[in-house]
Amino acid sequence: MKLLIAADLHLRADQPRCRLDDDWRMTQTLALRQMVKYANENEASLCIVGDIFHPLSGKVPPWVENMFLRQIAKVKRGTFVLAGNHDLPNHSWSNVHESSFGVVWNSKRVQALTELGLASHFGEPFPDDNQGANTGLVFIHTLVFASAKELPPDEKAISAMELLAQFPNAKWIFTGDNHRHFHVEKNGRHVVNPGCLLRQAADFKDYQPGVYLVDLTTEEVIRLSIPDDGEMVTDAYIKTENDRKARIDAFIETVKTGKAITLDFQSNLETAAKDIDNKVAKMINSLVKEANGSEG
Ligand SMILES: [Mn+2]
């Protein structure tokens, strides 16, 4: 049996700030199409280990839901899913019918990952009637890193080794949440984390998104790339934000050092407002007006 392991699709209507695509909808459609193509040409079942959709509200517009449903309709050997933290409003399964994941769940185009292995929706306990509990497969949406030295200090993250220790009966553990892919193998046991489907942050510019093809019989694990043009990822918005911060810092510094400052607070503000960006200038002008108003 072969599985195509994907996670963290983060499908969304709004284009991420780091993306320069002319047609964000088409970019997402092509990525989904490639994922489905990989599943079919390898005769694999598609397994999506959480975060199909992006907004933390769990809700995307119908066209995003339909974009996903129309593509997975072509999968020949079944699409299996579980909900990630982005899929459930307030991270609770009790809200599933308020979510876009719920639309997918009720569509009959997907099956539960509990049919293949031990699986639970984000934040939910593993169900008692877990049909696939004894297959040696575990599917879980939780933050895992390949090694202990990569663990961020302040997050609830664990290492692949810790995860293997938590599930001593698992031969394969498939994870979602960490957007950077890895595959760790230890004594014939595996942790496979496919990472994101498309780059959605500037620090992923040099990252190649993809999925894993896993053959449970031969134990072969193959990384397959999802085409995603690195030129479509920019950090320009970060520079713009930094420039803006630098201008505000310069203004504060001017005020602190008293350089070019008169004793008239209002004229100081008006002078300063000329040098800074519109939003702050407007804010200062409205404050000046408010101050004038309160005098009168
Ligand atoms: Mn995610």
CA–centroid distance, residue 276 to ligand 1 (Å):
37
Q: For all residues of the chain together, what is the average pLDDT?
A: 91
CA–centroid distance, residue 62 to ligand 1 (Å):
20
- What single string gives the DSSP state of each residue in 14-35? SPPTTB--S-HHHHHHHHHHHH
CA–centroid distance, residue 73 to ligand 1 (Å):
23
pLDDT at res. 241? 79
Burial profile 49-74: b = 16 or more Cβ within 10 angstroms, e = fewer = bbbbbbbeebbbeeebbebbbebbee
Residue 181 to residues 167, 211, 260, Cα–Cα distance (Å): 20, 8, 54
Per residue in 258-274, pLDDT tens? Answer: 666 666 777 777 776 67
d(CA 112, CA 132): 10
Amino acid at 92: S
CA–centroid distance, residue 210 to ligand 1 (Å):
14
Amino acid at 284: I
CA–centroid distance, residue 86 to ligand 1 (Å):
7
pLDDT at res. 296? 44
Q: Show the tokens assigned to 39.
A: 């599943």
CA–centroid distance, residue 61 to ligand 1 (Å):
19
Virtual torsion, Cα 75, 81, 85, 90, nearest 10 deg: 110
Maximum separation of any 2 CA atoms in the chain, in Å: 84
CA–centroid distance, residue 236 to ligand 1 (Å):
23
Question: Which secondary structure element, helix H or strand E, spans residue 63, and what is its range?
Answer: helix 62-72
Strand order in the sheet with 45-49: 111-112, 79-82, 45-49, 2-6, 210-215, 220-225
CA–centroid distance, residue 53 to ligand 1 (Å):
9
CA–centroid distance, residue 167 to ligand 1 (Å):
22
Per residue in 78-94, pLDDT tens? Answer: 999 999 999 999 999 99
pLDDT at res. 238? 79
pLDDT at res. 288? 80
Give every CB contact of residue 21 below 8 A, 6+ residues apart in sequence: 15, 27, 232
Q: Which of 37-41, 215-219, 250-254 has the lowest mean pLDDT?
A: 250-254
